[in-house]
């Protein structure tokens, strides 16, 4: 019976509204007292039934809830035969609960939207080579799947054949399509906007990046911050205190109606709901914008960050070295480029790959008698010429003369933070290339926005040489730069900052920087959705999108500000209502309950504003 009544709360609310309307219409039209009274009595009994059941369930676990206060208030109104008050109070309480549930469900719309993006079926290659549609649960790691234009990628995988553009907004929050071809990583829940591809599944079901995102956001929205835990403790003692206050007022004043009114007005409903709705909405906004905030506590800590420490490689820089500066000492640059590319094709060193990529399509020559010089480079016979590719030490070993112009160019390249690759042919210097890791596009603007958001210290830590790190720091306007740092050195430096009462966030790639990510108050991973990034950090910027960092910080500040607003609104309304009971004549139980439910709706709507949060133009 209890379950049936609770399941019909919405219908009971409608019935109460109809009965109250009938009561007042009969009084104002035909003036019939019986219809007026009995309609209100039935409305009161109907309305209090689900409230009383919830009160009983709370008392069974030794909790004095809001439902207990309302049930006692309605019972008291019956005792003094104030059926008008009892009917209106129960209706407003039920209607307020309906609005609360309805608006709260909207704040969880991010989760709903995410889960709706999960594909339900896939085209799987069967033993006969044909593709058949199957439930996505039937796909295993290693299966080959066909994805057509307009379809959702069913699992995480690697492209085997085909090419197309994929909308990865569900993973990164970025709506611009990303080109995918053979060897590219694709993610479940993303959409193939054009082309046809075949992929091999490497993560399925809940193990996909998309599945992990949904799981993390759900866990984060269910977590409680310090503020919420305080409010829970406060409500635990506050609600019985209101009950005691009403009893004391009744004993001293012998005015039961006044005591009952205090029961209704003292309900801390808006206070209890105000902080959770802000957290849920803030986390939901982040999920839709490529930012995973892993819990309410993260929001509180991140909003107070005054120092952000960055790893350099893969965070401030792209992580792949590229040719930045070149100088040729011959007019036949195409031939020298061909010799250089032919030799570097023999090596898998990152600098060699950067050179080959830079030269691109060119005529290649047969390479003979390749000799790899440890710590120096490569010497080989190419098209009848002795070609040496490497550093200055190798050139000296090859008796290559470096004149004043060449030495000046080398010094200039090194000042720019380059690693130097020299090329000589038959003992004469022919070319110099400066190779360095490139700064991520837009990073400087992002760091300026972080400063505008109140971050006082922007620090880079790197294992690279100090000169290279200083160059990056100067270009980006960072506060401090420290090179030659191993992972343990970075952790020790973060401890030093924390000892100075700094609130530190560390931004890294989520792999070799995991100790620092774990140690900082806030660990932020540039993770591309990798398992390590998701597991070790507090905040994940999906797809390593550095530009999401200001949005993440601004969102946490807005969410914390929103929590404080809701607490002020909730406490302020209760204080005003209780003061009105004692110091005004216009306050009664019905008006108090109307204001009380309105305050709940206000804090919910205030929290829901976070779903539409965008970083203000002044921070861009």
284 and 299 Cβ atoms separated by less than 8 Å: no
Domain regions of the chain by residue span: 2-108+221-277+562-612, 120-153+156-203, 319-438
Q: Comparing C-alpha atoms, which of 94, 100, 40, 95 is closest to residue 67? A: 94
Mean pLDDT of 407-422: 86
Q: Give, in words, the CATH class of 120-153+156-203.
A: mainly beta
| Residue 206: Cβ within 10 Å count | 10
Q: How far apart are CA 578 and CA 573, in angstroms?
A: 9
- Determine the pLDDT at residue 405: 92
Lowest mean pLDDT among 450-464, 470-484, 592-606: 592-606
Q: Which CATH number fits domain 319-438: 3.40.190.10, 3.40.50.1220, 1.10.40.60, 3.40.1110.10?
A: 3.40.1110.10
Q: Please determine whether the domains at 120-153+156-203 and 319-438 fall in the same fold group of CATH.
A: no
Residue 362 scores a pLDDT above 50: yes
List pLDDT tens digits, range 267-291: 666 777 777 778 878 888 887 888 8
Q: Comparing C-alpha atoms, which of 276, 615, 221 is closest to residue 449? A: 615
Q: In sequence order, which residues have a C-beta less than 8 Å from that of residue 236 and are 6 or more positions away?
A: 63
- Determine the pLDDT at residue 426: 92
Q: How far apart are CA 535 and CA 154, in angstroms?
A: 23
Work out the pLDDT band at 590, boundaries 50, 70, 90.
confident
H/E segment holding residue 250: helix 226-253
- Determine the pLDDT at residue 24: 82
Q: What is the CA radius of gyration of the chain?
A: 34
Q: How far apart are CA 531 and CA 352, in angstroms?
A: 30
- Determine the pLDDT at residue 99: 64
Residue 556 scores a pLDDT above 50: yes
Residue 160 scores a pLDDT above 90: yes
Work out the pLDDT band at 529, boundaries 50, 70, 90.
very low
How many percent of the chain have pLDDT more than 90?
Answer: 23
Lowest mean pLDDT among 18-27, 114-123, 438-447: 114-123
- Determine the pLDDT at residue 228: 60
Active site residues per annotation: 311
Rounded mean pLDDT of the chain? 82
Mean pLDDT of 64-69: 71
| Residue 254: Cβ within 10 Å count | 9
Indicate the pairing of strand 504-508 with strand 307-311. Answer: parallel
User: Residue 201: helix, strand or coil by DSSP?
Assistant: strand
List pLDDT tens digits, range 221-240: 455 556 666 666 776 777 77
Mean pLDDT of 597-610: 84
Q: In sequence order, which residues have a C-beta less than 8 Å from that of residue 264 and are 6 or more positions away?
A: 69, 70, 73, 89, 589, 592, 593, 596
- Determine the pLDDT at residue 554: 94
pTM for the whole thing? 0.66
| 205 secondary structure, DSSP code | G
Q: How far apart are CA 557 and CA 450, in angstroms?
A: 12
**In Å, what is the CA distance from 594 to each residue of 18, 350, 388?**
18, 69, 86
Q: In sequence order, which residues have a C-beta less than 8 Å from that of residue 284 and are 6 or more positions away?
A: 107, 108, 109, 110, 111, 217, 221, 610, 611
Backbone dihedral region for residue 62 (phi beyond 0: left; psi -120 to 50: alpha; all else: beta):
left
Q: How far apart are CA 603 and CA 605, in angstroms?
A: 6
- Determine the pLDDT at residue 519: 85
**In Å, what is the CA distance from 479 to each residue of 425, 457, 458, 490, 610?**
45, 6, 5, 16, 32
Mean pLDDT of 376-393: 90
| Residue 470: Cβ within 10 Å count | 17
List pLDDT tens digits, range 512-521: 577 788 788 9
Residue 62 scores a pLDDT above 90: no
Lowest mean pLDDT among 95-104, 309-318, 346-355, 426-435: 95-104
The tokens describing 256, both together, are: 């039961």
Top mean-pLDDT range of 25-39, 64-78, 382-396 = 382-396
The tokens describing 370, both together, are: 């390749």
Which residue has better confidence, 138 or 176?
138
């Amino acid at each position: 019976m209890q379950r049936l009544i609770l399941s019909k709360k919405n219908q009971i609310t409608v019935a109460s509204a109809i009965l109250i309307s009938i009561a007042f219409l009969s009084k104002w039209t035909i003036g019939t007292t019986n219809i007026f009274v009995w309609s209100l009595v039935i409305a009161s009994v109907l309305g209090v039934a689900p409230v009383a059941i919830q009160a009983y369930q709370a008392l069974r676990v030794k909790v004095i809830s809001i439902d207990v206060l309302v049930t006692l208030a309605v019972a008291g109104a019956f005792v003094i035969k104030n059926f008008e008050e009892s009917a209106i109070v129960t209706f407003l309480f039920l209607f307020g609960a309906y609005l609360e549930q309805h608006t709260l469900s909207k704040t969880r719309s991010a989760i709903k939207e995410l889960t709706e993006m999960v594909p339900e079926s896939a085209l799987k290659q069967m033993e006969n080579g044909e593709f058949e549609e199957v439930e996505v649960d039937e796909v295993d790691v290693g299966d080959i799947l066909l994805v057509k234009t307009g379809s959702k990628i069913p699992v995480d995988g690697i492209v085997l054949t085909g090419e197309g553009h994929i909308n990865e907004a569900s993973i990164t929050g970025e709506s611009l399509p990303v080109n995918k071809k053979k060897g590219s990583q694709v993610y479940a829940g993303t959409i193939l906007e054009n082309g046809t591809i075949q992929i091999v599944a490497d993560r399925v079901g809940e193990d996909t990046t998309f599945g992990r995102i949904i799981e993390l956001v759900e866990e984060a929205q269910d977590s409680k911050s310090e503020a919420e835990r305080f409010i829970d403790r406060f409500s635990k003692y506050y609600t019985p205190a209101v009950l005691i206050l009403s009893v004391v007022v009744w004993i001293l004043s012998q005015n039961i109606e006044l005591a009952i009114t205090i029961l209704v007005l003292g309900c801390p409903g808006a206070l209890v709901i105000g902080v959770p709705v802000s957290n849920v909405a803030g986390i939901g906004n982040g999920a839709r914008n490529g930012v995973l905030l892993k819990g309410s506590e993260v929001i509180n800590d991140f909003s107070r960050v005054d120092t952000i420490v960055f790893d350099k490689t893969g965070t401030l820089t792209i992580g792949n070295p590229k040719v930045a500066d070149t100088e040729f000492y011959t007019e036949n640059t195409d031939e020298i480029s061909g010799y250089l590319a032919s030799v570097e094709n023999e090596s898998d060193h990152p600098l060699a790959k950067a050179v080959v990529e830079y030269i691109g399509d060119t005529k290649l020559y047969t390479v003979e008698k390749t000799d790899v010089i440890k710590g120096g480079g490569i010497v080989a016979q190419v098209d009848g010429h002795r070609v040496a590719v490497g550093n200055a030490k190798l050139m000296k070993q090859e008796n290559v003369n470096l004149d004043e112009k060449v030495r000046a160019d080398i010094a200039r390249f090194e000042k720019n933070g380059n690693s130097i690759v020299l090329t000589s042919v038959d003992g004469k210097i022919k070319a110099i290339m400066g190779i360095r890791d490139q700064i991520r596009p837009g990073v400087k603007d992002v760091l300026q926005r972080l400063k505008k958001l109140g971050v006082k210290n922007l620090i880079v830590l790197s294992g690279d040489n100090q000169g290279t790190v200083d160059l990056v720091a100067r270009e980006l306007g960072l506060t401090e730069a420290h090179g030659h740092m191993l992972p343990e050195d970075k952790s020790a430096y973060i401890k030093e900052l924390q000892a100075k009462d700094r609130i530190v966030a560390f931004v890294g790639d989520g792999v070799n920087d995991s100790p620092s990510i774990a140690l900082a108050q806030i660990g932020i991973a540039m993770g591309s959705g990798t398992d390590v990034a998701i597991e070790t950090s507090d905040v994940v910027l999906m797809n390593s999108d550095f530009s999401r960092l200001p949005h993440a910080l601004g969102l946490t500040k807005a969410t914390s500000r929103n929590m404080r607003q809701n607490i002020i609104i909730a406490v302020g309304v209760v204080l005003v209502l209780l003061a009105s009971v004692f110091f005004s004549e216009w306050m009664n139980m019905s008006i108090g309950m109307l204001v009380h439910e309105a305050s709940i709706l206000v804090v919910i709507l205030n929290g829901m504003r976070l779903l539409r949060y965008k970083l203000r133009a002044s921070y861009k």
